[in-house]
Chain A
Amino acid sequence: MTREDAFSQFLLRMGDNTLVLGHRVSEWCGHAPVLEEDIALANTALDLIGQTQMWLGLAGEVQGGSKTADDLAFLRDAWDFRNVLLCEVPNGDFGRTLMRQFLFDAWHSIQLGRLMKSSDERVAAIAEKASKEVAYHLERSADTVVGLGDGTEESRRRMQEALDYLWPYVGEMFQSDEVDAEMVKAGIAPDPASLREEYDALVSRILGDATLTIPESSFAHKGGRTGAMHTEHLGHLLTQMQWLQRAYPGAKW
């Protein structure tokens, strides 16, 4: 694998995470439990879409062809997507959506903190901008997870169910492969495994405040960030998201 190939894969991983999660969060618009949450979720989705434009834009540039962020978002099939599975699982109830957001935000904020020191200036610049947004996402999702975990009996039960469902998708964020090795060598990005300790400390503190129990099993689903095996859900998401671009090729929107 060449340095360029690895770099491009890395950028797709960053951009596909924000693309797919941003899409999921945007599904809430108009349907949230209360107006203030509706507006807040839309802000999160908007930030993620903006970050997608930057990551995928840079991916297109690094690939050296003429592909734009839109080409990458709307004209690749599921096997070419490099997001972790956590981002593509369906929203479920509001509790699962916020738990997923928290579990991702915690990783995202640590990752962006490291990327701000990237040897590639473009990566560092995107990370710098995104990290400010993500710091707020994390604050908000953590507060909500604590509030609902330590809320009523029903809200606690639902949050524990959400955590139990999502926990097997956490491990994938910390798996390393040859793409990561190449990025570490180039000083572009950290080894994913190296983020785990900080992540566990943060997540167990918040989940503790939320009176929730982290499942004992450390089993981790995988296949998203390598593209080897996504969930069935991604195909449906892409079917909606890409429909106009696929049905009317070449049209300008």
Chain B
Amino acid sequence: MYAQMVQSEATQDDPEKLAAFQARIDAGEKIEPKDWMPEGYRKTLIRQIGQHAHSEIVGQLPEGNWITRAPTLERKAILLAKVQDEAGHGLYLYCAAETMGVSRDELTEMLLDGRMKYSSIFNYPTLNWADIGAVGWLVDGAAIMNQVPLQRTSFGPYSRAMIRICKEESFHARQGFDAIRKMAEGTPAQKKMAQDAVNRLWFPALMMFGPSDKDSVHSAQSMAWKIKINTNDELRQKFVDQTVPQIEFLGLDLPDPTIKWNEERGHYDYSDPDWSEFFEVIKGNGPCNVDRLAARNKAWDDGAWVRDGLLAHAKKKAARQHAAE
């Protein structure tokens, strides 16, 4: 997911306060920034929301890679609007994290120097135009699986950001499917692009949900706090069940030959992604990690004089107004 392997913080607070806090969450109450909260809850959430925000911002890059090559004016406008939405989603999420006393610039610096992570998926390249369809359809499709339940998360600002994001997100997966459908139904070359995109992005999309539940050590506390709603494997299965018929509808070959309907389980069987590859990507060894971070660092460094200049002007203007009064 956009927030993968978020480590839960142990909490050493007053047991009575902890119990009261848990009772509020169990009763479905929202926790607001000024409410008492366990230190572990606060730290885990900053990490999770921060990682989610970073994913939106870094996620602009693989799709942005095709804005200048979009094949029609309409596709260019749709793609640009979509990538712009990702920037907006990052902005909403940073603001949610800021309510807990960490600033956006602090979070940004932690992304830029590698102290904080972003989703593994954005370390994969977009190599042909069909990738843009596949990213919208598969990657955003996978993200939505997680984001829809997160609208009910216990932390008020996070929940409100997710509600706004989900509302805007609804067009993303649809435009992706629409774009790849045109390709799948197009010329042989276009169909080849579509197949190539699905083959390359299928397993990375499955990785988005994080490691298998049996290897996922951080879930229990986060689920009790309702900052994680479903387990990794639940969501992954749901994604596979939803997506396989769509691939078949497009007339494309399944990217995993082991995919088979299991009558007994009422679900599709499928193969796990190569988890050693996943852990390499997380460590920084994915195909694009270095380039993605370099691009973000460059934008930040090159922009410093602009941020400073506009702030200096605002201060001068305020001082002049003050002097005139």
Contacts and interface: CB of A to CB of B under 8 A. Distances in A.
A142 to B, nearest CB: 13
A50 B74 CA distance: 8
Interface in B76-118: 76-77, 80-81, 83-84, 87-88, 90-91, 94
Interface string B48-78: 0000000001001100100111111111110
B165 to A, nearest CB: 14
B69 A147 contact: no
B314 interface: yes
B310 interface: yes
Chain A binding surface SS class: helix
Contacts of A94: 302-303, 306
Contacts of A156: 309
B70 to A, nearest CB: 8
B308 interface: yes
B299 interface: yes
B312 interface: yes
Given A31-B298, A151-B308, A70 B73 contact: yes
Contacts of B299: 30-33
A30 B73 contact: no
Interface stretch (B182-190, B197-205, B265-273): B182-190
A69 B302 CA distance: 36
A237 to B, nearest CB: 8
B73 to A, nearest CB: 5
A26 B313 contact: no
B174 interface: no
A56 B72 CA distance: 13
Nearest to A24: B68
A84 interface: no
A155 B80 contact: no
A42 B182 contact: no
A252 B311 CA distance: 47
Interface string A158-181: 100000000000000000000000
Given A70-B73, A147-B313, A155 B64 contact: no
Contacts of B303: 32-34, 37, 94
Given A32-B299, A147-B313, A155-B305, A69 B73 contact: yes
Contacts of B302: 33, 93-94
A240 B91 contact: no
B182 A30 contact: no
B50 to A, nearest CB: 14
A244 interface: yes
Interface in A205-253: 240-241, 243-245, 248, 250-253
A147 B314 contact: yes
A93 B81 CA distance: 23
A253 B182 contact: yes
Given A29-B60, A42-B84, A45-B80, A251 B189 contact: yes
Interface string B213-232: 00000000000000000000
B310 A244 contact: no
Contact of B307 (A34, A39, A144): A34
A150 B60 CA distance: 31
Nearest to A40: B84
B23 interface: no
Contacts of A144: 310
Contacts of A155: 305-306, 308-310, 312
Interface string A132-166: 00000000000010111011101110100000000
Contacts of A152: 305, 308-309, 312
Contacts of B305: 152, 154-155, 158
Nearest to A52: B73
A243 to B, nearest CB: 6
Nearest to B190: A251
A23 interface: yes
A146 B313 contact: yes
A120 interface: no
Contact of B57 (A26, A35, A150, A240): A35
Contacts of A31: 64, 295, 298-299
Contacts of B60: 29-30, 38
B316 interface: yes
A244 B304 CA distance: 36
A199 interface: no
Interface centre among A27, A50, A146, A244 (most CB of B within 10 A): A244
A74 B72 contact: yes
A152 to B, nearest CB: 5
7 contacts: A37-B306, A70-B73, A148-B306, A148-B309, A151-B312, A154-B305, A240-B69
Give the 9 A-B CB pairs with smallest separation, nearest first: A33-B303, A155-B309, A151-B309, A30-B60, A42-B84, A30-B64, A33-B306, A244-B71, A253-B71
Given A69-B73, A253-B71, 19 more contacts: A30-B57, A30-B60, A32-B303, A33-B306, A35-B91, A36-B91, A37-B306, A45-B80, A70-B73, A70-B74, A74-B71, A94-B303, A95-B306, A148-B306, A154-B309, A240-B69, A250-B187, A251-B189, A253-B179
